[in-house]
Structure 1
Amino acid sequence: MILKPMEQPVLPERTSEKPAIVITVGDPAGIGPEIVSKAIANAEIFKICRPIVIAELGILQREIERNHLGIKIEAVSEITDQMKFLPGTLALIDIGIPDRLPEYGKVNRDCGRAAFEYLRKAVELAEEGRISAITTAPVNKLSIKAAGIPYAGHTEILGALTETIDPLTMFEIAGEMRVFFLSRHLSLIDACRMVKKDRVYNYILRCEAILNQLGIQRLKPIGVAALNPHAGEGGLFGSEEIEEIIPAVELARKKGIDVVGPIGADSIFNMSRKGAFSAIISMYHDQGHIATKTLDFERTVSVTLGMPVLRTSVDHGTAFDIAGKGIADPTNLIEAVKTAARYS
């Protein structure tokens, strides 16, 4: 399925039963296997979903033993309605790669390949209608590159695997703040070049469609962040607001969308925290990431939208510096699973 940029995104149909959610462990040399194992050991997620993990058996066994989690692994070959999902049991689809336990905290092409194959299997299950959503632990971009995979990260890989043009990224903090991103993994200078009227207008339309499809109550407008300090100060600090952002906002308002902006980035996130907006459109990666992660790092969840399957993710990386030490906190992953369940 290929989505053109102006087409409305697709979300899975909602069901009354607990959704089946696949959790991929990301890079096996990072903290992904640890936080996934700890999340499954927490009975809380079994109340809201049916979790299935995609990984390699030995990698998870190592974490369960190291962290004294007291859970057992049940290997499954397929997902069926007859499966029982019980606290204390980790349902595993074993991909079988990498074929040896990797050293913690090291860039490794085999781990990059494994992380890719976990995602490929997750998408396959989604296409077969076996699962409702995907939740991902972090990948390492250098390991992905070392494996010869020509994509920067999760979002780009999933876009390619699902044949989706330009998936939408939304950060959410437990339903309290939602931030969309006009661009993601670009240098700052390239991100600034992406701030064009057509793109901003298109993103306003797409964000409006997503909010409606997610069933989010729309009592407040969408807020559009400015690119330049003080929203350009009437052209003194840059012309993008006058030439690109304001015309896009005005055009969207003529289409009946409740949207305001541009509003200076030093104010808009605080305004959102106080309930001023249904969502914010951030002009580039760090503008929104810094605000949300500073507000609540543990509860900020990344949601990838506009694909045939919904995907949620932690907001942190592989944390190579603490991998294998048993101190990784699974809170963010648990929040990501909760978000996937809420929207499935």
Structure 2
Amino acid sequence: MLALTMGDPAGIGGELTLAAWRHFRHGGGPAFVALDDPARLAALARALDLDVPIGDVVDPAEARTVFADRLPVIPVPLSMPVRPGQPDPSHAPAILTSIETAVRLAQAGLVDGIVTNPISKTALYAAGFGFPGHTEYLGALTGMAEPPVMMLACAALRVVPVTIHMSLRRALDELTTAEIVRTGRVLHRTLRETFGLHQPRIAVAGLNPHAGEMGAMGDEEDRIIAPALATLRAEGMGVEGPLPPDTMFTARARTSYDAALCMYHDQALIPLKTLDMDGGVNVTLGLPIVRTSPDHGTAFDIAGTGRADPGSLLAALRLAADLAYRRSQACGATP
């Protein structure tokens, strides 16, 4: 059983939740409990003419018993009505309560993992949200001493950016050898312990065009990246690079590694979203709980129309269940 958060209620998260229940209700995928406002989900189902009966439940154990017949929802009431496509800072308390409740359930072992619907960081910032994004917030909620690591994964590619939610200028300033080493260690450990790869192969992107062209286009490869790779290799990790970013994501190149370690956000996310926008999944590495999410945003422009593609959420639910199972096997327990 997984916990699925509300996301921004003015976005497409609600209709994705409805579609996911319709897809998985008869088996073939993981059961989940939504942490959401039951009244708003019921109203959305009526507006979209979807046959989705809503069932209020008090805990995940009850949710499991009713999942085949009703979409189980642990109520997280909204204080104001929702207007699709129009985010409202007044919804922030419910959005955050949904996330916090999911984390508590996972930490208590009452759900196997959490899947988060998309949030609008702009709307949360307007309400005083003090974190760059979901990833950093989850790290704080779970008491992590170091920031967690963001992975984007699809069938064709796994990517991890060293710097995440910041401007490109700031990312260039904050890229360090120590942070590459830290991120590489978390990635290698997760590939082994959670993805079941005994000898992970990690390709590392250069920062500059042509990976610096031996210093002609920048010295960060020699000055920052190469020392990090030397440290990782000395610890027994299979890392290759720094590689020219413009050629390392071709079909042939991707067969040579299990994950790509990239230097900044768009260097990682552009190739993955180009390859599989609908099947991409965001996975948070380094947390004591399993967390995935769809690899897309709130899509306010189509919210409430029924046009949202649930493919990425379905993939996120499947991957969360798979990762939770792998973790449980590694720990000698069954979820």
TM-score normalised to the size of structure 2?
0.92
Residues 255-334 of structure 1 mapped to structure 2, 5 A cutoff: 255-270=235-250, 274-334=254-314
Question: Aligned match of 1:120 in 100, 104, 124?
Answer: 100
| Equivalent residues of 1:104, 1:324 under 8 A apart | yes
What's 1:14 paired with? Answer: none
Question: Aligned match of 2:31 in 50, 53, 59?
Answer: 50
Distance 2:165 2:115 in 1: 20
Distance 2:191 2:272 in 1: 18
Cα shift at 1:254: 1.7
What's 1:84 paired with? Answer: 65
What's 1:93 paired with? Answer: 74
Cα shift at 1:194: 2.4
Q: How many residues align?
A: 323
- Label 1:340 to 1:87 Cα distance change in 2 as closer, same or farther (>3 A): same
Partner SS, residue 121 of structure 1: helix
Distance 2:161 2:272 in 1: 12
Distance 2:63 2:292 in 1: 26
Distance 1:198 1:86 in 2: 46
Distance 1:308 1:215 in 2: 15
Partner SS, residue 131 of structure 2: coil
Unaligned runs of 5+ in 1: 1-19
Kindly indicate whether residue 165 of structure 2 is the aligned counterpart of residue 198 of structure 1: no
Residues 174-253 of structure 1 mapped to structure 2, 5 A cutoff: 174=155, 176-218=156-198, 221-253=201-233
Partner SS, residue 302 of structure 2: coil
| Equivalent residues of 2:57, 2:63 under 8 A apart | no
Report the aligned-residue RMSD: 1.7
Cα shift at 1:310: 1.2
| Equivalent residues of 1:169, 1:302 under 8 A apart | yes
| Equivalent residues of 2:8, 2:87 under 8 A apart | no
Partner SS, residue 248 of structure 2: helix
Cα shift at 1:50: 2.3
| Equivalent residues of 2:153, 2:280 under 8 A apart | yes
| Deviation by residue 1:46-99 (Cα, 9 ceiling, x = unmatched) | 433221000011210122112222121111112227941433420100011x22
One-letter amino acid matched to 1:306: G
Kindly indicate whether residue 38 of structure 2 is the aligned counterpart of residue 36 of structure 1: no
What's 1:111 paired with? Answer: 91
Cα shift at 1:258: 0.8
Cα shift at 1:102: 1.4
Distance 2:49 2:260 in 1: 42
Kindly indicate whether residue 132 of structure 2 is the aligned counterpart of residue 152 of structure 1: yes
Cα shift at 1:170: 0.8
| Deviation by residue 1:105-149 (Cα, 9 ceiling, x = unmatched) | 123112222211110111111121101111111000111112212
Question: Aligned match of 2:148 in 167, 173, 192?
Answer: 167
Point out which structure has higher relative CO (alpha carbons under 8 A, 6+ apart). Answer: 1
Cα shift at 1:274: 3.8
| Equivalent residues of 1:252, 1:259 under 8 A apart | yes
One-letter amino acid matched to 1:196: T
Unaligned runs of 5+ in 2: 325-335
| Deviation by residue 1:3-45 (Cα, 9 ceiling, x = unmatched) | xxxxxxxxxxxxxxxxx10011200011111111111111368
